[in-house]
Amino acid sequence: MEEKELILIIDFYGQYNQLIARRVRECNVYSEIVPYKISIEEIKKKNPKGIIFTGGPSSVYEEGAPRCDKEIFNLGIPVLGICYGMQFMTDSLGGKVQKAEMREYGEIPVKINNNSKLFEGLEDSSVCLMSHTDYVEQIPEGFKIIGTTDNCPAAAIENEQRKLYGIQFHTEVNNTANGTKIIKNFLFNICRCKGDWHMDSFAKEQINHLKNKIGNKKALCALSGGVDSSVAAVLLHKAIGKNLTCIFVDHGLLRKNEGDEVEQVFRNQFDINLIRVNAEEQFLSKLEGVTDPERKRKIIGEEFIRVFEKEAKKIGAVDFLVQGTIYPDVIESGLGEAATIKSHHNVGGLPDYVDFKEIIEPLRDLFKDEVRKLGLELGIPENLVYRQPFPGPGLGIRVIGNITKDKLEILRDADYIFREEVKIAGLEKDLNQYFAVLTDIRSVGVMGDYRTYDYTIALRSVKTVDFMTAKWSKIPYEVLEKVSSRIVNEVKHVNRVVYDITSKPPATIEWE
Ligand code: XMP
């Protein structure tokens, strides 16, 4: 593949490290996050056009504070240090960092020198997000101050000749008014990037790369119908056509019509070699009488792998196994101490007994929104590309307690109505996840002249960025009213609908 422009983001455990990477990529420059322990040789090998240091929770003068090799400042590669990154730069080059008497936090006006290449085109005063306790008391030799606040005499510094820049504030966060402009200035004025990283070129490059790598060999992909595996599958298909086989395990716990929709897109639209395994009976029999959520997850995950393996065995040995791993998965499991590792997410891990030589992860460099862009680029329908997240164990963890076919049917119909009304109300893009839950409560109702004793459906909808925390969404009453009235009228055995008004924490998004 052609050498692409790269900005290296050196992670000092900053909470915004992914945001920095995304801001850079939004400017059409490819960026990669690496741990601060990266060696100078590795940096040289990667040959970046520029380096950004993230912030981080440490104080640079404390023992054990994260530091990378000082040689980094002598490579002639432009460096932008953000917050801790600036303090580390200062400390390493002979300046002094001190604890401030007062922590400076919030959106604060910074007086800036817009003669600096970093601040070109900005007003003299710019509101920036400050969040720090330490500050640069004395700048290193050869540097000058290019930004100040009332409490922070050196809020931005530069050594133009050595192309070293430091800012105390967080440009990467949305509420820093000119954040993107500053990042652009760094990329284009200082690092001299061209900004030619686009999704269409990425798609072409990847397809070519996969073609060359796989040649006439065979690849196998587990398709779930979710965004990541779908995009990975289509990308591979464009590269190697019928040498790719996709196995789609329908565990019978999908939403209404979902299995058929997946089949329609992949078999009919793309003409992908697709094997759909209808394993509903098998899954339901394993799940019979099981009420504990974690056991359900385990059973579904394991069964999924068994079914996949059985199908894969029929195909025989393959050379490559395709996985839909994306960049946040790589960062979360690969960067060391600060990484948060999700536990229960994703169905079951890797199949043990599939005969393959190598794993291929064509999306491992992309963020979710980039995967979506790529999906659209490849011609995958919008409703699939923007599909809300759906857990691997599916409706199995949305039928509370014991799962039966009848209960799944009730839930599917109720959930479908909810989704349909959200769409009609134009709320789809506003809500990050929304679904129905079949509680195992039955209660008394009255319908016509008759007493009923039927199920309660709970509606759940949240707004969230990362799904780690979430707020319940304030769906207009009129929409809820319509959904509720349609569900009790159209879905048999439901006589009550409730709306979940708990945020996460303390509740989780799913009920189980
Ligand atoms: P919770 O319920 O933990 O959910 O607040 C956070 C996000 O993760 C999804 N989720 C799962 N995804 N397997 C998955 O693949 C699971 O077992 C699982 N449990 C929860 C959930 O839908 C939400 O998006």
pLDDT tens per residue, range 324-345: 999 888 876 655 443 332 333 4
Does ligand 1 have an atom closer than 6 angstroms to the CB of 298? no
Looking at the fold, whether 17 and 160 belong to one and the same domain comes out as: yes
> Whole-angstrom Cα distance, residue 326 to residue 200?
18
Tell me the residue type at 166: G
**Residue at 213 is within a domain:** no
For residue 267, the 8-state DSSP code is I
User: For the segment 19-48, what is each residue's pLDDT rounded down to a tens digit?
Assistant: 899 899 999 999 999 999 999 999 999 999
Does ligand 1 have an atom closer than 6 angstroms to the CB of 342? no
> Whole-angstrom Cα distance, residue 349 to residue 302?
9
Looking at the fold, whether 144 and 237 belong to one and the same domain comes out as: no
State the residue for tokens 């960092």: 97
For residue 173, the 8-state DSSP code is S
Cα torsion 242, 321, 212, 34: sign: positive
| Confidence class for position 17, pLDDT limits 50, 70, 90 | confident
Question: Which of 168, 190, 212 is a domain's end point?
Answer: 190
User: For the segment 270-301, what is each residue's pLDDT rounded down to a tens digit?
Assistant: 999 999 999 999 999 999 999 999 999 999 99
Tell me the residue type at 211: K
Average pLDDT over residues 413-427: 98
> Whole-angstrom Cα distance, residue 108 to residue 132?
12
Ligand 1 centroid to Cα of residue 394, in Å, is: 9
> Whole-angstrom Cα distance, residue 221 to residue 232?
8
Ligand 1 centroid to Cα of residue 510, in Å, is: 6
Ligand 1 centroid to Cα of residue 302, in Å, is: 17
Q: In terms of Cα–Cα distance, which of 21, 71, 60 is closest to 327?
A: 21
Looking at the fold, whether 265 and 123 belong to one and the same domain comes out as: no
Tell me the catalytic residues.
Answer: 83, 170, 172
Any alpha helices (H) in 155-198, and if so which ranges? 179-184
Q: What pLDDT, on a 0 to 100 scale, did the predictor assign at position 342?
A: 30
Q: In terms of Cα–Cα distance, which of 279, 284, 227, 275 is closest to 250?
A: 279
| pLDDT of 361 above 90 | yes
| Confidence class for position 174, pLDDT limits 50, 70, 90 | low
- Neighbouring-strand partners of residue 8: 32, 51
For residue 168, the 8-state DSSP code is S
Backbone angle region of 286, left / alpha / beta, with phi > 0 → left and psi within -120 to 50 → alpha: alpha
Q: What pLDDT, on a 0 to 100 scale, did the predictor assign at position 353?
A: 63
Q: Which domain holds residue 104?
A: 6-190
Q: In terms of Cα–Cα distance, which of 9, 378, 14, 398 is closest to 173?
A: 14
User: For the segment 63-82, what is each residue's pLDDT rounded down to a tens digit?
Assistant: 999 999 999 999 999 999 99
Does ligand 1 have an atom closer than 6 angstroms to the CB of 224? no
Pairing of strands 320-322, 219-223: parallel
Pocket test for ligand 1, best of 253, 332, 510 (most atoms within 8 A of CB): 510
User: For the segment 436-460, what is each residue's pLDDT rounded down to a tens digit?
Assistant: 999 999 999 998 889 999 999 999 9
User: For the segment 110-129, what is each residue's pLDDT rounded down to a tens digit?
Assistant: 999 999 999 999 999 888 88
Looking at the fold, whether 429 and 377 belong to one and the same domain comes out as: no
Question: Which of 175, 190, 205 is a domain's end point?
Answer: 190
Ligand 1 centroid to Cα of residue 49, in Å, is: 38
Looking at the fold, whether 174 and 53 belong to one and the same domain comes out as: yes
Indicate the angle between helix axes 327-334 and 17-26, nearest 10 degrees.
Answer: 150
Ligand 1 centroid to Cα of residue 418, in Å, is: 19
Q: What are phi and psi of 20, to 5 degrees?
A: -60, -45
- 469: domain CATH number? 3.30.300.10
- For the ranges 142-151, 304-313, 446-455, 486-495, the lowest mean pLDDT is seen at 304-313
- For the ranges 5-9, 58-62, 167-171, 176-180, the lowest mean pLDDT is seen at 176-180
User: Is the overall model pTM greater than 0.85, yes or no?
Assistant: no
Task: Give yes or no for a contact between 9 and 24, defined as CB atoms under 8 angstroms apart.
Answer: yes
Looking at the fold, whether 88 and 233 belong to one and the same domain comes out as: no
Does ligand 1 have an atom closer than 6 angstroms to the CB of 162? no
Q: How far is CA 51 from the centre of its chain?
A: 23
Ligand 1 centroid to Cα of residue 391, in Å, is: 5
- For the ranges 12-16, 95-99, 291-295, 390-394, the lowest mean pLDDT is seen at 12-16
Task: Give yes or no for a contact between 373 and 49, defined as CB atoms under 8 angstroms apart.
Answer: no
Q: What pLDDT, on a 0 to 100 scale, did the predictor assign at position 490?
A: 98
Q: Name which residue sits closest to atom 7 of ligand 1, judged by CA.
A: 467
Looking at the fold, whether 259 and 380 belong to one and the same domain comes out as: yes
Q: Name which residue sits closest to atom 11 of ligand 1, judged by CA.
A: 391
Q: Name which residue sits closest to atom 4 of ligand 1, judged by CA.
A: 509
Does ligand 1 have an atom closer than 6 angstroms to the CB of 368? no
| pLDDT of 348 above 70 | no
> Whole-angstrom Cα distance, residue 314 to residue 375?
30
Pairing of strands 358-360, 50-53: unpaired
- 28: domain CATH number? 3.40.50.880
Pocket test for ligand 1, best of 345, 347, 500 (most atoms within 8 A of CB): 345
Does ligand 1 have an atom closer than 6 angstroms to the CB of 393? yes
Residue 253, helix vs strand vs coil:
coil
Pocket test for ligand 1, best of 295, 340, 344 (most atoms within 8 A of CB): 344
Q: Name which residue sits closest to atom 3 of ligand 1, judged by CA.
A: 508
Ligand 1 centroid to Cα of residue 248, in Å, is: 20
Tell me the residue type at 150: D
| Confidence class for position 131, pLDDT limits 50, 70, 90 | confident
**Residue at 504 is within a domain:** no
| Average pLDDT of every residue of the chain | 91
| pLDDT of 346 above 80 | no
Q: Name which residue sits closest to atom 24 of ligand 1, judged by CA.
A: 389
Q: What percent of the chain has pLDDT over 90?
A: 77
Q: How far is CA 27 from the centre of its chain?
A: 19
**Residue at 205 is within a domain:** no
Looking at the fold, whether 363 and 420 belong to one and the same domain comes out as: no
| C-alpha radius of gyration, the chain, whole number | 26
Looking at the fold, whether 350 and 424 belong to one and the same domain comes out as: no
Q: What are phi and psi of 58, to 5 degrees?
A: -85, 165
Does ligand 1 have an atom closer than 6 angstroms to the CB of 70? no
- Annotate 291-348 with DSSP letters as a single string: --HHHHHHHHHHHHHHHHHHHHHHH---SEEE----HHHHHHHHS-TT----SS-SSS
Domains in the chain, number: 3
Q: Which tokens belong to 132?
A: 């720090």
| Confidence class for position 201, pLDDT limits 50, 70, 90 | confident
> Whole-angstrom Cα distance, residue 45 to residue 6?
11
Q: Cβ–Cβ contacts within 10 Å for residue 79, how many?
A: 25
**Residue at 197 is within a domain:** no
Element (DSSP H or E) covering residue 148: strand 144-148
Q: Bigger pLDDT: 394 or 305? A: 394
Q: What pLDDT, on a 0 to 100 scale, did the predictor assign at position 345?
A: 41
User: For the segment 241-267, what is each residue's pLDDT rounded down to a tens digit?
Assistant: 999 999 999 999 999 999 999 999 999
Pocket test for ligand 1, best of 467, 472, 473, 512 (most atoms within 8 A of CB): 467
Q: Cβ–Cβ contacts within 10 Å for residue 501, how many?
A: 10
Looking at the fold, whether 13 and 162 belong to one and the same domain comes out as: yes
Task: Give yes or no for a contact between 26 and 167, defined as CB atoms under 8 angstroms apart.
Answer: no
**Residue at 204 is within a domain:** no
162 CB-near residues (< 8 Å, 6+ apart): 73, 142
- Annotate 87-125 with DSSP letters as a single string: HHHHHHTT-EEEEEEEEEEEEEEEEE-TTSGGGTT--SE
> Whole-angstrom Cα distance, residue 236 to residue 364?
14
**Residue at 353 is within a domain:** yes
For residue 284, the 8-state DSSP code is H
Tell me the residue type at 159: N
- Neighbouring-strand partners of residue 110: 126
Looking at the fold, whether 421 and 375 belong to one and the same domain comes out as: no
User: For the segment 463-501, what is each residue's pLDDT rounded down to a tens digit?
Assistant: 998 788 899 999 999 999 999 999 999 999 999 999 999
Task: Give yes or no for a contact between 91 and 61, defined as CB atoms under 8 angstroms apart.
Answer: yes
Q: What pLDDT, on a 0 to 100 scale, did the predictor assign at position 343?
A: 34
Ligand 1 centroid to Cα of residue 304, in Å, is: 17
